[in-house]
Amino acid sequence: MAVIRKSFSGGLSADEEILLEEWLGSDEENGREYSFLKSLYMWKNPPFAPDEVDDGRMPWRIRRLLLKNSIGTNVFVRAYRIVACLLLIPLAGVLVWALTDRPSDQDSVAMQEVRAPFGICSAVTLPDGSEVVLNAGSSLRFPSVFDGTSRAVELSGEAYFEVESCPDRPFIVRTGGLDIVATGTSFNVEAYSGEDMIAVTMVEGEVGLYAPDDRFVRTMMAEDRLVYSRNTGTVDETAGYSYRYISWKDGVLAFRNDPLDSILARLGRLYNVEFILMDESLAHKQFYATFNNESLESILKLLSMSDNVRFEQVSGTGAGSDHGIRKIYVMNREKH
């Protein structure tokens, strides 16, 4: 890996050049991996910085773009579908590489935000053709135009991405704790605000992961899953793709020995319900089940039949509660 990174900035010794050529020639997959890593390096390390440009005779519009990068989309909402058309501002040759991934000033690029309220999933088509499905209780924020060297969005919650390939303009998902950088791939991200865990599940292609301090975490390949802690920066990686992590986008809830507290959190967002766990010993009880577009009542009935769990809905809403959100007590049947 050290030789690969060194090759991007030049200065390889003769022996290192031979080593790199042998590695590239040994497998076609190595060549693809090298191109992907080089694309990430070029994005993080443009050939020259914007403030190094002699811009005395440069048009103001281009100077502003060089100093403050512009990224984003332009969208039109129709039902749960958002369709957009891409507006590109042409920049010639090497000027494009002077752009960095810093946000644009708000005067030149308006911000858009799409929200999927609790109980509803929403679909979004970005101006580059990338498709996004937002899970309930999630939001996606982005500028109105993709006109920089990267395509960046900000996610709070969970979303499934199918990114259009564009190696020269990386697609970046910012989560407030981890940046996911792709050039063309499919993956799922779980990053709800207030939760320590950020989970990334790969379906196709590969992505690069970066911590908030721009520290490279690792590259993820197809069928990998990774769980990252915002608080500790630790990584728990599981090889082997499982459909259950993305089945929600198809209306399928698949639990495979998942703890009850995790199941209730997912059900709460999807059905706009607050579950109140009356017995903490139930939190880690595990359940194995699959539900396909089932009602909440049917799901809770089946869960209660499989273990000593009882669900009891609160009549009305208590003081200080969110209007319209049902409350359901979760109790141990043997104790209540």
- Which pLDDT does position 307 carry in this prediction? 80
169 and 317 co-located in one domain: no
316 and 186 co-located in one domain: no
Q: Please, which residues bridge with residue 275 across strands?
A: 328
Torsion of CA 205, 210, 226, 262, to 10 degrees: -120
- Kindly provide the residue ranges of all beta strands, DSSP E only, lying in 205-308, ordered along the sequence: 206-210, 216-221, 224-229, 235-239, 252-259, 273-277, 286-292
226 and 93 co-located in one domain: yes
Tokens in use for 68? 């403050």
- Which pLDDT does position 111 carry in this prediction? 81
216 and 267 co-located in one domain: no
Contact 143, 71 (CB under 8 A): yes
Is 51 part of any domain?
Answer: no
Chunked into runs of 10 residues, the chain (336 residues) has average pLDDT values of: 70 78 77 68 52 42 37 32 28 28 51 90 90 95 83 96 91 94 94 93 94 89 92 82 88 92 93 93 92 92 89 65 75 78
Rounded Cα gap, residues 199 and 207, in angstroms:
13
Q: What is the pTM of this model?
A: 0.68
Please count the other Cβ atoms lying within 10 Å of the Cβ belonging to residue 30: 15
3-state secondary structure of 34: helix
Tokens in use for 34? 């090298």
Q: Which domain holds residue 302?
A: 251-332
261 and 310 co-located in one domain: yes
Is 56 part of any domain?
Answer: no
73 and 183 co-located in one domain: yes
Rounded Cα gap, residues 283 and 241, in angstroms:
26
Query: 50-62: per-residue pLDDT in tens?
Result: 444 444 444 433 3
- Which pLDDT does position 23 carry in this prediction? 78
Query: 136-158: per-residue pLDDT in tens?
Result: 999 999 877 888 888 999 999 99
Rounded Cα gap, residues 291 and 297, in angstroms:
12
Rounded Cα gap, residues 316 and 323, in angstroms:
10
| DSSP 8-class letter at 222 | T
105 and 75 co-located in one domain: yes
Rounded Cα gap, residues 124 and 24, in angstroms:
38
